[in-house]
Amino acid sequence: MNKERTPSFIHEVALSVDAKQKRELLTRMDMARMLYNACLGEAQNRLGLVRQSTMFRSAVTMDRARSKERSALFKEANARYGFTEYALHKYAVAGKNRCAIGDHLDVHTVQKIATRAFSAVLMHALGKRGKPRFKGKGQLVSVESKSNDAGIRFRADACQSRVEWGGLVLPIILDRKDKDGVQAHAMSCRTKYVRLVCRSYKGNTLFSAQLVQEGYPKLKSKNAVTSGKSALDIGPSTYALYTEDTAELGQFCAGLKPLHRTLRSIQRKMDRSRRASNPENYNSDGTIRKGNKTWVTSGHYQRLKMQISEIHRRLAAHRKTLHGALANRILAHGTVIQMEKLSYRAFQKMFGRSIGFRAPGMFVSMLRRKAESAGGAVIDLPAGTLKLSQTCQCGHQRKKPLHERWHRCPDCGICAQRDLYSAYLAYHVSNDVLDKESATASWPGAESLLMQAVSRVQHESANAGNSVPQSFGVGRSMSGLPVKGRYPVSDDVDVVAFASMRTREPRKRAVLATPRTPRL
C-alpha cells in the first residue's frame, strides 16, 4: 500500500441519521465486528503456525549480528503461513463474499478491518501492546475506509455536505456559528479518508464522522503558542512546570468529580437485581454456581447499566476537555517540552485508581501530539540515568521515599518542593546530561519562582475553600513535621500516602472503618 506521509488531523462532525439508516448502520457495525473477530482468530492461528515452524525457530536462535539473514527467515516464515497483512486481506474479502456480510460491507472497509486485526496481533506478538480481545456485541464502534474515493466517502457540493457509504447518504450537521473558524479551515483541507464512529449518548446511539484531513488543525486564537523551552515533571496525579520566567504546580483534572462512590452504589444495585432475576445461578452461600448458565437481565438492570456507561462517558469527556486546556496552557509557555520518560504502566501498578481517574499517560500523548502539530516536540529524558528526583544541582544524590515531598540538600542547603525542583533540573538537561553549571547559575532567580508557585497553590486552594492535594506537600511545614490538625481526606483517588497518616488515625476508627464488602 502506498502510504501517505503528509501530516493529518481529525475533524469530527455529527451525522444526521434517520431510523432506517440507523438500523442499517447498526447492522453494518455488527457485521464489521463479526468480521474483525474472524480476522483476529485467523491471525492468531497463523501466528501460532509461524511460531511452530522450523524457519522461525532457527531464526530466533540465530546470532543477532546476522540481522539480514534473520529477518529474511522471519519474513519467509510469515509468508509461508500467511501471517501478512495482504494475506489477511484476502482471507477477509473471501470471507465476506461467502456470506451475508458481502451484502452490507464494501471491500475497502473490509480490508481496513483485516489490517486492524492484523496489527493488533502483530503488536502483541512484538510485545508492544496488550493481548487483543474478541469484541462482544456493541464493542466495535468505528469503521473506516482506505481513501476518500471508495467505501465511506465525504462529499461536499453547493447544496449539501454529506458522508456516503454503500447507498446510504448521511448529511453532516455543521456548526452554524463556527466562532473560531476551525470548521471552515478543516473543510477547506483535503480529506484523506473517513472514519464512521458510533457512540452511545444518554441511552441513544449517535453517529459521527471523523474526517481525516491533510495538513494541520487551526489553532484557536486563545490558544496561541510561543516557541520556547519548558520542562515538565509528571506525577501520578500532579504536574510541575518550569520555564525561564514561570513555575507552576498543579493537579491533573482538578475539576473532575470523583464519582466512584456513585458508580459503586449503582454496581451494587445491579448486583442485587442480577441475583433477584437469576436465583438459580447462585449457590446457597451467595457465590456463583459453576457450569453453563443463562443470565436474565431485567429492564431495571438495563437502565442501571446505561447509567454506568453514561457516567463513564461524561467523566471521559470532561477529562479530555481538562487535559486539552492544560496542554494548551503549557504550550503557551513553549512548544519544546523536556520531561523524564516515565513508564505509565508502572504508575498504573502502583497507583491504579488515581491513574485511571486522572490519566496522565493520555495527557502526555495529547501534549506530544499538540506540541508536534505546533512545530515543537516533547523530548523524553532518560529517567533511569538522570534520576532527577534524587539529584541536587551540586551533585549530591540521595534516594527519597515517595512521601518526602521536599528536596533538602544536606551539602548545599537548597530547599524546594520536590516536583518543582525536578522540573527545574529537567529544564537544565541537555543531550541527556544534567548541566550542573547552568542549573547552579540560574538558581538564584529560579528559587523565588519555585516559592511563588508553591504559595500560589496555597492561596488558590484557600480561596476556593479546597484542600491542597497531599502530594504537593505544601500543607506541611517545611521542617518536614506533619501539619497540626486533621488531614483533609477530600478525595479517595489521591495517591501519595504519608507514613505518618497511619499513626495519627485513632485506632478505634481504623477498626470500625474496615469495609464489609471489598471496595472497587
Chain residues in the site for Zn ion (CB under 5 A): 392, 394, 396, 409, 411-412
If phi > 0 it is left, if psi is from -120 to 50 it is alpha, else beta; for residue 359 that is left
Query: Long-range pairs for 277-286 at CB < 8 Å and ≥24 separation?
Result: 277/301
Nearer to Zn ion, 411 or 492 (CB): 411
Nearer to Zn ion, 90 or 396 (CB): 396
User: What is the torsion angle, in degrees rounded to the nearest 10, for the CA atoms of residue 236, residue 325, residue 130 and residue 70?
Assistant: -110
User: In this structure, how many other beta carbons lie within 10 angstroms of the beta carbon of residue 186?
Assistant: 20
Nearest alpha carbon to residue 149 among 107, 116, 193:
193
- For residue 409, the minimal CB distance to Zn ion (Å) is 3
- For residue 413, the minimal CB distance to Zn ion (Å) is 7
Nearer to Zn ion, 195 or 398 (CB): 398
- For residue 143, the minimal CB distance to Zn ion (Å) is 57
- In 3-state terms, what secondary structure has residue 400? coil
Residue tagged 496481533 (cell numbers): 121
Contact, 412 vs 397, CB < 8 A? no
Nearer to Zn ion, 412 or 441 (CB): 412
- For residue 246, the minimal CB distance to Zn ion (Å) is 24
**Number of residues written out for the chain:** 520
Compute CA distances 399 → 239, 284, 387, 409, 513, whole Å: 20, 53, 9, 12, 34
Nearest alpha carbon to residue 44 among 111, 129, 112, 133:
133
Nearer to Zn ion, 189 or 416 (CB): 416
- In 3-state terms, what secondary structure has residue 207? strand
- For residue 474, the minimal CB distance to Zn ion (Å) is 21
- For residue 199, the minimal CB distance to Zn ion (Å) is 52
Nearer to Zn ion, 211 or 425 (CB): 425
- For residue 434, the minimal CB distance to Zn ion (Å) is 12
Cα separation of 97 and 346, whole Å?
A: 45
- For residue 412, the minimal CB distance to Zn ion (Å) is 3
Nearer to Zn ion, 233 or 491 (CB): 233
The H or E element that residue 74 is part of is helix 67-80
Cα separation of 124 and 128, whole Å?
A: 6
Q: Dihedral of CA 169/175/180/181: which sign?
A: positive
Residues linked to residue 391 through DSSP beta bridges, in sequence order: 397
Contact, 390 vs 398, CB < 8 A? yes
Residue ranges with strand state E in 307-405: 336-340, 377-381
- For residue 410, the minimal CB distance to Zn ion (Å) is 8
Contact, 212 vs 191, CB < 8 A? yes
Nearer to Zn ion, 195 or 408 (CB): 408
Compute CA distances 361 → 229, 346, 364, 473, 475, whole Å: 21, 11, 5, 23, 27
Nearest alpha carbon to residue 218 among 181, 179, 192:
181
- For residue 395, the minimal CB distance to Zn ion (Å) is 7
- For residue 454, the minimal CB distance to Zn ion (Å) is 19
Nearer to Zn ion, 121 or 429 (CB): 429
Nearer to Zn ion, 50 or 392 (CB): 392
Nearer to Zn ion, 392 or 439 (CB): 392
Residue tagged 486485526 (cell numbers): 117
Cβ-based neighbours of 463, under 8 Å, separated by 6 or more: none
- For residue 424, the minimal CB distance to Zn ion (Å) is 13
Nearer to Zn ion, 112 or 418 (CB): 418
Contact, 453 vs 438, CB < 8 A? no
Residues linked to residue 238 through DSSP beta bridges, in sequence order: 251
- For residue 316, the minimal CB distance to Zn ion (Å) is 43
Nearer to Zn ion, 411 or 437 (CB): 411
User: In this structure, how many other beta carbons lie within 10 angstroms of the beta carbon of residue 329?
Assistant: 13
Q: Give me the phi and psi of 36, to 5 degrees please.
A: -60, -45
